[in-house]
Amino acid sequence: MSVYLLENTNSRHHIIKKVDNNSIQGGKMKTYLTRVFLCLLALLTVSCENPTVDTASTMTPLSEKAITALSFPALNNVSAAVDETTFIVSITVPHGTDVTSLTPTIIHTGESISPTSAQDFSSPVSYTVRAADGSTQIYQVSVTVAENSAKAITALSFPTLSNATVAINKTAHTIHITVPHGTDVTSLTPTIIHTGASISPTSAQDFSSPVSYTVRAADGSTQAYQVSVIVAENSAKAITALSFPTLSDANVAIDEAAHTISITVPHGTDVTSLTPTITHTGASVSPTSAQDFSSPVSYTVRAADGSTQVYHSNDNCSGCTNIYLNLQQSEGKRCTFPDDYKRGIGNTAYIANQTWIWIWKLV
């Protein structure tokens, strides 16, 4: 019996070999059958004539040339949008950024990209990506400077009120304005300085209650401020008149500049317990009970805003014609005064910064 075996060689051809009966005997037959099986299996799974290797999944195509990311290292939180359809790269940078000399960091799939130096992005810049196979793709990179987002009120005033005080709370976005007592706040138009593009309202407003002002930034964002106007309490605290109801002939002189009051009462008047009627512009005056005017008495007028004014004696000896002559003389000052006046008290020294009302009796 003759057996023909298909023998694989290093060449592109296969050899058909005849095997005689003597060669098939014993273990040699088993070896030849094994070789036949393996060769047939190889023929079924691999084509010896046209071998094919799939490298598409493991190798980058030589024609790749895409920009996948672009950023500016000097600008935080800035990223680009890449449109692979139009090959346009758009990036927005913060307001105030100088775009005349920027060097972007560009990630791409190509072999190289140009230019690589700093560029002026005042207008779009072209970047060319070159693939490994020599093909190229051009991308247009456009940089947009964001509009200003500032929208703060930095100052507010009322042109007709020169002495108004303003307090701006930048954190709470509130403004408190104190205007003088008696101000009509029902129709006021403030002058407002702000960092935005516009502010509203701009017309006169009734500030009897808080008014909301909205500042719009150039980028379209807004910030509201609550503006409250406070009318100051009355600061008036002057004594405008003083009299004794039981003494119709008392002579009173009020010196508002010096805050002193001079009173002359008829001879024989008992001044140890007198209660004057005091007219004043403040909220209150004290004391209010009967006083012993044998010695100076201090009167304090308190205004509605809490401030006070004390009326005190005047130590000016010029002319020596008022009721303080004898007080001043007790300080060692030599003054001449009318003979028909007599000192109504003992040698009481003048006490600085106190308020005194002196009562004199005709001799």
- Separation between Cα atoms, residue 252 and residue 357, nearest integer Å: 10
Q: Where are the beta strands (DSSP E) in 146-259?
A: 153-157, 165-169, 174-179, 191-194, 198-200, 211-216, 222-231, 239-243, 251-255
- Separation between Cα atoms, residue 23 and residue 99, nearest integer Å: 88
Domains belonging to the chain, first-starting first, are: 3-45 (no CATH), 67-145 (2.60.40.2340), 153-231 (2.60.40.2340), 239-362 (2.60.40.2340)
Cα torsion through 313, 319, 323, 327, rounded to 10: 60
Q: What is the pTM of this model?
A: 0.56
Percent of the chain with pLDDT over 90: 56
Outline where 206-323 has alpha helix (H).
none
**pLDDT of res. 339:** 38
- Separation between Cα atoms, residue 126 and residue 88, nearest integer Å: 9
Categorize the per-residue pLDDT at 262 as very low, low, confident or very high, splitting at 50, 70 and 90. Answer: confident
- Separation between Cα atoms, residue 351 and residue 341, nearest integer Å: 23
- Separation between Cα atoms, residue 56 and residue 59, nearest integer Å: 6
**pLDDT of res. 11:** 47
**Tens digit of pLDDT for each residue in 20-34?**
555 445 555 566 566
Sort strands 357-362 and 260-265 into parallel, antiparallel or unpaired.
Answer: parallel
What single-letter DSSP state applies at residue 119? B
Sort strands 165-169 and 153-157 into parallel, antiparallel or unpaired.
Answer: unpaired
**pLDDT of res. 359:** 43
Mean pLDDT, residues 58-77 taken together: 87
SS in 3 state form for 246-271?
A: CECCCEEEEECCCCEEEEEECCCCCC
